[in-house]
A and B are shown apart, each in its own frame.
Chain A
Amino acid sequence: MEKLLQQIVNGITLGSIYALIALGYTMVYGIIKLINFAHCDIYMIGAYVGYFCMTFFKLGLLPSLLIAMLVCTLLGVLIERIAYRPLRNAARISVLITAIGVSLFLEYGTMFFVKANVRTYPEVTGLLAQRFKIGNIIISMQQVILISITVILMALLQFIVKRTRLGKAMRAVSMDRDAAQLMGIDVNSTVSFTFALGSALAGAAGILVGIYYNTINPLMGVVPGLKAFIAAVFGGIGIIPGAMIGGYFIGAVEVMVAGYGNSMYRDAVVFAILILILIIKPSGLLGKNTREKV
């Protein structure tokens, strides 16, 4: 029982990361129907920016987090502007290949500049290094911070999407781009704004992972990126609460499989879940079935 509770705590921690990344995937897919493969590398860049802030400039967690989010926002907008916008009306598959190209570029570009070796985040001290014990369950301060920052960011996102004009514009563009344009919405800037939001969240996820797992490398984004995408599909792609639920579910499943089964198979189980959900309910947990019109 205690083991189970401990696993649940770990699952929520991992799930928070997946949820943060999945939000970016789901928003971008919702608005321009693109699997943004470069998204997971923005997360990696966020981890590196955080690393440099904390190691070389000796900044605290919060300033580093904000700087990482800012850099990732700019990067995300820049990528959209340079690589995706010229292809807005091209075939989906060419945009997808472009996304893969950008992803490879970020991975190997980072590798070129910072070398491929694994880097370690500075040891946490003071308040951050504390651990709480509830019964036999250990919760570290890092986990508390990670989960609370995630919740705050998600609440902020919900607020932006539901309550602001820009959020309304995002929802309108994702429903029907042409109609939104006819209503006077600037589609290009709305898409840029979506990329900015998603990238900021990915940057936050990157630095939080750095603090929690300590090690980062230029290819760290690939596997979490795929899993976060699966989380987005699981919850129903294009639906923001779906991505959150999916993220936590995938995180929990992964931790459970590693804890009780064979940890070698945890990735396989996640992919098997993906295939099952695609076969049983392709529109995802919260998705509605759209009927096909001729």
Chain B
Amino acid sequence: MRKFIALALTYAIVQVLIMTNVISGYFQATLVTVCINIILAVSLNLITGFTGQFSLGHAGFMSVGAYVCALVTMRISTIPGFILGVISGAIAAAILGGLVGLPTLRLRGDYLAIATLGMSEIVRIIFLNMEITNGAAGLNGIPQFINWTWLFIFTAGTVLFLANFVKSAHGRACISIREDEIAAEAMGIDTIRYKVIAFIIGAFCAGIAGAVYSSYFYFLKPDLFGFLKSVDVLVIVVLGGLGSMSGSILAAILLALISTYLQSFPEIRMVLYSLILVIIMIFRPQGLMGSKEISLSVFNKLGRNKLWNITKSRKGGL
């Protein structure tokens, strides 16, 4: 219950800030980027952080979602068309995720990372050469449907869904694969099935992120989804802590803030960004949060005997 109050509060506060023009123009674009990065990072965290399958191909899934959604909404530019576009984009990405998940039956570790990287590059090159996606010039004039409400629904929906998935029996099975694949198999867990499930769900959410991207920025070209995009997402996940959903969210916000701040020094922006990355990795290799979660029960301790002492029953948590 408290979760929903917190979510509703977040929604309302940002909505008010947008309506009173405190968040305007450039910051709105940043807000959208942050939300897209949260969806991407949380879904990659399911694959890499919780299931332990090292993937460098998230940009590939995202691009499939983005292109499919763009192509659908450009033909049917209505709200139902948009919803159809998001769903079909996510499903297309999920199918690709399933196909990529299959080689994971044999590969592990770095080999899997390179295979997924290869997959996402192939997807990019195919988009670069297809007629319907307008090649390197890219798609322009995609109808814009995304506003804060939609953005919030997709982001919060993905986060809640994945957070609950991780806590379910299926999620526990995924975690056990990360901890020790052989032991998990000995315990009767169908490791292949859960690895493929993790890939499909992760790709589905990445497809949603791509769809949101295409609908807000109304312009797509294959170069947007190169190797660096996958790296960006992986950086968020590792920085936040593998296996920590709230860590991913925190890192996505933090990196967006850093990158917004560094925007004023365009020449050394990437230099500083990479330095920060290396320094954080050297001094805190487990990421900001490790595998811990921030939960709303923190407020329980802070607010005990003070404000809301009403609900103690469940340890909440995003």
Same assembly: yes
**Does A62 count as interface, using CB distance less than 8 angstroms?**
no
Inter-chain CA distance A98–B274, complex, in Å, is 9
- B278 x A226 contact (CB < 8 A): no
Whether A101 contacts B271 by the Cβ 8 Å rule is no
* Contact residue among B109, B114, B227 (Cβ-Cβ distance under 8 Å from A233): B114
A97 touches B107 (CB 8 A): no
Report the bound CA distance from A229 to B114 in whole Å. Answer: 9
How many of chain B's residues have a CB under 8 angstroms from any CB in A?
A: 43
- Residues of the A chain whose Cβ atoms lie less than 8 Å from the Cβ of B107: 278-279, 282
B121 at the interface (CB under 8 A from A): yes
**B115 CB contact (under 8 Å) in A95, A103, A274:** A274
- Asked if A271 contacts B106 (CB within 8 A), the reply is no
| Residue B317 interfacial (CB < 8 Å) | no
Residues of A within 8 A of B303 (CB): none
In the complex the two chains form, what is the Cα distance from A275 to B102 in whole Å? 12
Cα–Cα distance between A167 and B157 once the two chains are bound (Å)? 56
Q: Which of B19-27, B74-82, B88-96, B230-238 is near enough to bind chain A?
A: B230-238
The A interface, classified by DSSP as helix, strand, loop or mixed, is helix
**Known A94-B281, A97-B234, A97-B238; contact A112-B125, beta-carbon cutoff 8 A:** no
Chain A contacts with B in 81-119, Cβ cutoff 8 A: 83, 86-87, 90-98, 100-105, 107-109, 111-112
Residue of B nearest to A85 (CB): B282
Spot the interface stretch: A12-20, A134-142, A148-156, A260-268.
A260-268
Bin the interface of chain A by size: 35 or more
Given A101-B274, A278-B103: A294 and B182 within 8 A (CB)? yes
Which residues of the other chain, A, contact B103 by a CB distance below 8 angstroms? 275, 278-279
Q: Are A112 and B285 in contact (CB under 8 A)?
A: no
Asked if A268 contacts B182 (CB within 8 A), the reply is: no
- Bound-state Cα–Cα, A268 to B278, Å: 31
Q: A222 in the interface, Cβ–Cβ < 8 Å? A: yes
Closest chain A residue, CB of each to CB of B239: A97
Q: In the complex the two chains form, what is the Cα distance from A233 to B113 in whole Å?
A: 12
Q: Does B242 contact A (CB under 8 A)?
A: yes
Nearest CB to that of A278 among chain B residues?
A: B115
A35 vs B112: C-alpha distance in the bound complex, in angstroms?
A: 12
A59 CB within 8 Å of chain B: no
- A-B interface pairs (CB < 8 A), number: 123
Contact across chains for B111 and A233 when beta carbons are under 8 A apart = yes
Contact present for A98 and B122 (CB under 8 Å): no
Q: Nearest chain-B residue to A222 (Cβ)?
A: B227
Whether B227 pairs with A226 at a CB distance below 8 angstroms is: yes
Determine if B182 and A98 form an interchain contact, defined as CB atoms under 8 angstroms apart.
no
* B225: interface (CB < 8 Å): no
Q: Do residues B274 and A102 form an inter-chain contact, with CB atoms below 8 A?
A: yes
Chain B residue nearest to A104 in the complex (CB): B274
Check: B224 CB closer than 8 A to any chain A CB.
Answer: no
Residues in A whose Cβ lies below 8 Å from that of B278: 83, 98, 101-102, 105
B282 in contact with A86 (CB, 8 Å) = yes
B118, B128, B242, B275: which contacts A93 (Cβ < 8 A)?
B242
**Complex: chain B residue closest to A273, CB-CB:** B118
Residues B274-310 near A (CB distance < 8 A): 274-275, 277-278, 281-282, 285-287
Inter-subunit contact A93/B114 (CB<8 Å)? no
* Contact indicator A100/B235 (Cβ below 8 Å): yes
Contact yes or no, A264 B129, CB < 8 A = yes
Assuming the A-B contacts A105-B275, A279-B106, are A112 and B182 also in contact, with contact meaning beta carbons closer than 8 angstroms in the complex? no
A78 within 8 A of B: no
- Tell me the chain A residues, 226-252 only, with Cβ under 8 Å from chain B: 226, 229-230, 233
Query: Which chain A residues border B54 with CB–CB below 8 Å?
Result: 93
With A97-B234, A108-B270, A278-B114 in contact, is A267–B282 under 8 Å at CB?
A: no
Q: A226 CA to B109 CA in the complex, in Å?
A: 17
Cross-chain contact B238 with A105 (CB below 8 angstroms): no
19 contacts between A and B (CB under 8 A): A35-B110, A35-B113, A87-B285, A96-B113, A101-B275, A102-B274, A104-B277, A108-B270, A108-B274, A109-B271, A112-B268, A222-B227, A226-B227, A267-B125, A268-B126, A274-B115, A274-B118, A278-B107, A279-B103
Write the residues of chain B forming the contact surface with A, with a CB cutoff of 8 angstroms: 48, 54, 103, 106-107, 109-111, 113-115, 117-119, 121-122, 125-126, 128-129, 182, 227, 231, 234-235, 238-239, 242, 267-271, 273-275, 277-278, 281-282, 285-287
Ordered nearest first, which 7 A-B pairs have the shortest CB separation?
A101-B277, A108-B270, A104-B274, A94-B285, A271-B118, A105-B274, A90-B285
Task: Contacts A95-B285, A107-B270, A265-B129 known; list 7 others, CB within 8 Å.
Answer: A92-B110, A94-B281, A96-B110, A97-B281, A100-B234, A112-B271, A275-B103
